[in-house]
Amino acid sequence: MLNNIAVIGSGSWATALVKIFAESGVHIKWLVRNQHAADYIRQYRHNPRYLSYANLNTKYITPLTSAEEALQDVDFILFAVPSAHLKNTVQDIEPEWLAGKQLAVSIKSFVPGTGNIPGVFLKKYFTAEQPVMVLGGPCHAEEIAMQRNTYLTAAGDDMAMVKQVCDSIKVPYIKTIANADPSGVEYSAILKNIIGIATGIANGLHYGENFQAVLASNAMREVQRFLAAVNHTTRDLFDSAYFGDMLVTAYSDFSRNRTLGKLIGRGMQVTKALQAMEMVAEGYNASKELSVVMKQLNLSLPIMNSVGRILHHHANPFHEFKLIEQQLR
């Protein structure tokens, strides 16, 4: 088992991961935003701002505000911050603090301005010797807080390390699945957020569930084409880390990306819809970065393209979905 880990990030998803590891008896140094949050967690056993109804086993949690202190005497470091904050986060970390430690990410978007998935960004930034692991879905933080049955994916090139992470999670409502395709899991987690926005827009435009099912099945083909182009390896896309993660984001009311899409489909301007969101919808920034990556790969994906035009080029959702209708099969 893992003994001592650091979790960097204090949003909903980071809180859910801390809850899982703490209930498994793993000691966690939790790097949070500010002293108020750290003091509140110690005193009340809840995150004051995110997933605040989730009980936290503070016997195994040490909330901290110093990156240097959080990264001392740990053997596993998990980054779980919004992608837009990752650049600023790593600037506070000296490479020598990471020496000999396994890095992992659970971030579901490109790092803005780089076109890199977080695992690749961290490896480049720190010139890390070890491959970076990935913790993925399909799962919503809210259901973990409610202790509903959930399947978590641990992906990495070092399968001994993957097994160690899987064996370290010992809570009855979590089943951990080992996966040897970390970049595929990361890319799938990014694409599914854009697809969640697409199905949300369709719902907001009053398309029915029949249409949304066809939209989702065509989106699966786009995921398949993208993954084959960016990282051609043997993978079963019907594993839960791929299409399972996409489906829960496309259809769940817990999906922030679907919620953003609904607001846009109902006629709200993109900027106002983003302001109305209480939490980050990662698909917004991801769609901008994806358009650059698709150009580099000479790849055209109709659903992804339409979402990008709606979000970033003021395209009319109604007209874009009329175009999508003609290309679905």
Residue pLDDT, tens place only, 278-306 = 788 999 999 999 999 999 999 999 999 99
**Same domain for 258 and 197:** yes
Output the pLDDT for position 61: 98
Q: pTM of the full predicted structure?
A: 0.93
**Same domain for 243 and 153:** no
In tens, the pLDDT along 179-216 reads 999 999 999 999 999 999 999 999 999 999 999 999 99
pLDDT at 34 over 90: yes
| Structural contact between residues 81 and 109, judged by C-beta atoms closer than 8 angstroms | no
Which range of residues forms the domain containing residue 67?
A: 4-179
- How many other C-beta atoms are found inside a 10 Å radius of the C-beta of residue 53? 9
Residue 123: Cβ-neighbour burial (10 angstroms; 0-12, 13-18, 19+): middle
Output the pLDDT for position 111: 95
In tens, the pLDDT along 231-283 reads 878 899 999 999 999 999 999 988 999 999 999 999 999 999 999 987 889 99
As a whole number of angstroms, the distance between CA 325 and CA 329 comes to 9
Share of the chain above pLDDT 90, in %: 93
Number of domains in the chain: 2
- Closest Cα partner for 310 from 297, 300, 324, 296? 324
Copy the structure tokens of residue 310.
């709606």
Q: What is the CATH number of the domain that holds 114?
A: 3.40.50.720
SS3 string, the chain, reads CCCEEEEECCCHHHHHHHHHHHHCCCEEEEECCCHHHHHHHHHHCCCCCCCCCCCCCCCCEEEECCHHHHCCCCCEEEECCCHHHHHHHHHCCCHHHHCCCEEEECCCCCECCCCECHHHHHHHHHCCCCCCEEEECCCCHHHHHCCCCEEEEEECCCHHHHHHHHHHCCCCCEEEEEECCHHHHHHHHHHHHHHHHHHHHHHHCCCCHHHHHHHHHHHHHHHHHHHHHHCCCCCCCCCHHHHHHHHHHHHCCCCHHHHHHHHHHCCCCHHHHHHHCCCCCCHHHHHHHHHHHHHHCCCCCHHHHHHHHHHHCCCCHHHHHHHHHHHCC
Which of 179, 204, 234 is the last residue in one of the domains? 179
**Same domain for 173 and 196:** no
Which of 179, 199, 229 is the last residue in one of the domains? 179
As a whole number of angstroms, the distance between CA 122 and CA 107 comes to 12
**Same domain for 22 and 142:** yes
pLDDT-based confidence at 1, cuts 50/70/90?
confident
User: If you average pLDDT over every residue of the chain, what do you get?
Assistant: 95
**Same domain for 198 and 170:** no
**Same domain for 300 and 232:** yes
- Closest Cα partner for 31 from 85, 84, 95? 85
Output the pLDDT for position 11: 94
Output the pLDDT for position 132: 95
